[in-house]
Amino acid sequence: MLALALLAFGILARYASTIPWSIVLVGAAYLIGREGNSVVDGGAAIIGALLLLSAELASWSIGENPRIKAEPSLVVRRVLTIGALVLGALVVDVLLLGTAAFSGSSGILLVVAGVAAAVAAMALVLRLVRG
Amino acid sequence: MTRWATPKLASYAGLSAVGLLTAMVSARPELVALTAPFLLALAAGLALATTPRLSADLELDEARALEGDEIGARITIAAATPVDRLELYLRLPRGITPGEGRNPVALHLGAGEQRELELSVHASRWGGHVVGPVYLRAFDALGFLAWEATVEMRRELRVYPREEVLQRVLSPREPQLSSGNEVSRRKGEGIEFADMRQWTTGDPLKRVNWRASARRGELWVNESHPERNTDVILFVDAFAEARRGAEGTLDLAARATAALADAYVGRRDRVGLISFGGILRWLAPDLGAAQLYRVVDALLDTQVVLSYYWKDIDVIPRRTLPPNALVIALSPLLDPRSVGALLDLRARGHDLAVIDVSPIPFTTRPSSGLDAIAYDVWALRRDALRQSLQRSGIAVAEWRVGTPLQFALEEVRAFRRHAVYARA
């Protein structure tokens, strides 16, 4: 609730610094809820994607200046970009959690390294596509 | 272009770093799952970001316009690289307001794409304006990086004051010697009948009044008033003005000056201009349409400039104030320096008429208290000042916004006629 209130305040006051803090609060609340449970939670993939979606939408809301009239195609483009990003994040998370479930908690360093490598590879591909 | 990172970049980078570190410390893969989307967004955003290469051009349909006109503007923007979000803003000076079209506008440009943005601007105040520059701000696809640039394109737009049509203008006490439309009080070659006198040697036969000669038994000739032109000096007081919002006494004075210059030039009179204020400008009297444009162009550069320097009319070049010229002053009578100059002009024998561009409509009377009393005293002192100018033989008429200039001119004309009779 505190995270939600903080995010709402940030959007209303157009104060972008509240976004990461509200994300941190949600993450902390999730971790506290998972305390003592050693089984890897598959729902974390959806939560991660939803957190990204909320952060993106909040950033959009705060960053949008009503005085600047945006072309309709620009709005469609942004919606598609955010959608693709959230979908990509969901895929990455599912793969990540699947790998983590097999490797167990001892392989966390490998998981982090794997995530970093996957993300770097995706970035490289995007860069090449962009030309 | 100047590049800078948006707060979103720092937020996502911080979230990714903190999340991954906490995941390693706490050995919770779920934390990596919560963090990975932000890391992915960061990597994708930075990978997709390319420095935009943009070029822009600005065109105005007209370089000259009348107050109240709509002028078309066209911004051509071309991108050599793809720009995911480009914000574009054309800076408009005070006195030029946005009309139709989008400004500022956000758009997307593909690589090699060129766009033309059509918009219109409204010339709401007279003056010499500079439209531009164009400000550009580009963002990458996810808004992590921004690039800013100012395209130094400035287009000059001269907005002329909208003139009022005048039925009749003031006539000077004494016209000049050149031919014109003003019927002189003197007698000479002309069309307007003036008097009759006995024939003398050298009088042409065509001027003999045969009917009168037959009645009197000797030759009598007609005399006529010659048509002459006049020298008119328009004296604009630019020491001080009263202003409320977009309208002020200087705007009214400028419009009236343009209308008077147009009317006098149309009568083939010589018109000159003196802008008497913090910056002194003058234009020696001349005739013709070219002079009208010169007067209006000089008027566009007139503005109130704060100055504590005491000026009197000695600073005005002599040739700008020819003898027998009619000086029409347009002043809000707010600054003692301009009032002093008017009295000085009158004392030196110039034919002077003053249009008091009233500052009263641009002020608000306080509802009560000492402020209200002070306001009333100020208004009374203005009346007293007008009367003191009239006692000095200066024709003064108050002109308020919303009333035709012709009313004020007729009031001045009535005073001048009365003053002439009183002298006779």
Quickly list DSSP for B330-399.
EE----HHHHHHHHHHHHTT-EEEEEEE--GGGS---SSHHHHHHHHHHHHHHHHHHHHHHHTT-EEEEE
Nearest to B104 by CA among A10, A54, A65, A120: A65
Tokens read off for A99: 């790998």
A91-106: average pLDDT: 75
B173: confidence class by pLDDT, cuts 50, 70, 90: confident
Residues 217-256 of B with CB under 8 A from A: none
pLDDT category of residue B380 using cuts at 50, 70 and 90: very high
B20-40 pLDDT per residue, tens: 888 878 778 888 889 989 988
Residue of A nearest to B137 (CA): A68
B160: β partners: B66
Q: What is the predicted pLDDT for the residue at B304?
A: 61
What is the radius of gyration, based on Cα positions, of chain B? 34
Q: Is the pLDDT assigned to residue A129 strictly greater than 80?
A: no
Amino acid (one-letter) located at A29: A
Query: Closest Cα to residue B343, out of B235, B260, B269?
Result: B235
Rounded Cα distance between B362 and B378, Å, is 14
Q: A70–B28: do the CB atoms touch at under 8 Å?
A: no
Q: Please say if the pLDDT value at position B424 is more than 50.
A: no
- Given an 8 Å threshold on Cβ–Cβ distance, is B7 in contact with A16? yes
Nearest to A111 among B12, B29, B85 (CB): B29
Contacts of A67 in chain B (CB under 8 A): 104
Instruction: Tell me what pLDDT residue A126 has.
Output: 66
Q: What is the mean pLDDT of residues A45-56?
A: 94
Answer whether residue B414 shows pLDDT above 70. yes
Tell whether pTM > 0.80: no
Task: Give residue A3's pLDDT.
Answer: 84
Residue whose entry in the numeric block shows the structure tokens 């693709």: A84
User: CA nearest A90 in B: which residue?
Assistant: B37
pLDDT of residue B102: 87
State whether residue B21 sits within 8 Å of chain A by CB: no
**Which residues between 49 and 68 in chain B have a beta carbon less than 8 angstroms from any beta carbon of chain A?**
50
> Are B103 and B90 a contacting pair, CB within 8 Å?
yes
Between CA B341 and CA B11 the distance in angstroms is 66
pLDDT bracket for residue B195 (50, 70, 90) = confident
Interchain CB distance below 8 Å, A48 and B37: yes
Q: Count contacts between A and B (CB, < 8 Å).
A: 165
**Mean pLDDT score, A73-92:** 93
Which pair of tokens denotes residue A101?
A: 């479930």
* Parallel, antiparallel or unpaired: strands B247-248 and B395-399: unpaired
pLDDT at A104: 57
Report the percent of chain B where pLDDT is more than 90: 46
**CB contacts, 8 Å: A96 with chain B:** 29, 32-33, 36
Q: Does B141 touch chain A if contact means CB atoms closer than 8 Å?
A: yes
The token duo for B10 is 């720092």
Residue contact B30–A93, C-beta within 8 A: no
A55-65 pLDDT per residue, tens: 999 999 998 88
* Least CB–CB distance from A30: residue in B6, B34, B37: B34
Cα–Cα distance between A131 and B385 in angstroms, integer? 77
Please compute the mean of the pLDDT values over residues B419-423 and round it to a whole number: 52
Alpha carbon distance A120, B240 (integer Å):
67
* Structure confidence at residue B92 (pLDDT): 93
State the smallest CA–CA distance between residue B102 and chain A in angstroms.
6
**ipTM for the whole complex:** 0.88
Mean of the per-residue pLDDT values of chain B? 88
Q: Which residues of B touch A108 (CB under 8 A)?
A: 23-24, 27-29, 32
Quickly tell me which residue has 């640039």 as its tokens.
B149
List the single residue in A with minimal CA-CA distance to B82.
A130
- Contact indicator for B386, B396 with CB cutoff of 8 Å: yes
Strand partners, B78: B55, B114
Q: Among A17, A22, A31, A79, which would you mutate to test the B interface (most chain B Cβ atoms within 10 Å of its Cβ)? A: A31
Helical pair B336-347 and B369-391, crossing angle rounded to 10 deg = 10
Q: Which among A63, A67, A127 has CB closest to B143?
A: A63
> Which of B26, B34, B38 to probe by mutation at the A interface, max A CB count within 10 Å?
B34
- Quick check: A40 pLDDT over 70? yes
Q: pLDDT tier at B89 (50, 70, 90 boundaries)?
A: very high
Using the predicted structure, report yes or no on whether residue B14 has a pLDDT greater than 80. Answer: yes
What angle do helix axes A43-63 and A18-33 make, rounded to 10 degrees?
A: 160
- Using pLDDT thresholds of 50, 70 and 90, give the confidence band for residue B316: confident
Tens digit of each residue's pLDDT (9 = 90 or more) over B204-257: 888 899 999 999 999 999 988 877 778 999 999 988 889 988 889 999 999 999
- Residues in chain B within 8 Å Cβ distance of A44: 29-30, 33-34
* CA B141 vs CA B6, B351, B354: distances in Å: 13, 72, 64
pLDDT band of residue A53 (cuts 50, 70, 90) is very high
Nearest by CB: A97 against B26, B33, B102:
B33
User: What's the pLDDT at B38?
Assistant: 92
Find, in chain A, the residue whose alpha carbon is nearest to that of B89.
Answer: A68
Most confident stretch, A40-49, B160-169, B372-381? B372-381
What is the pLDDT confidence band of residue B59, given thresholds at 50, 70 and 90?
very high
At B306, the pLDDT band (50, 70, 90 cuts) reads: low
Q: Can you give the pLDDT at residue B207?
A: 87
How do beta strands B155-160 and B64-66 pair?
A: parallel
Task: Find residues 271-330 of chain B whose CB sits inside 8 Å of chain A.
Answer: none
Cross-chain Cβ contact A126/B47 below 8 Å: yes
Model confidence at B311, pLDDT cuts 50, 70, 90, reads low
pLDDT score recorded for residue A105: 52
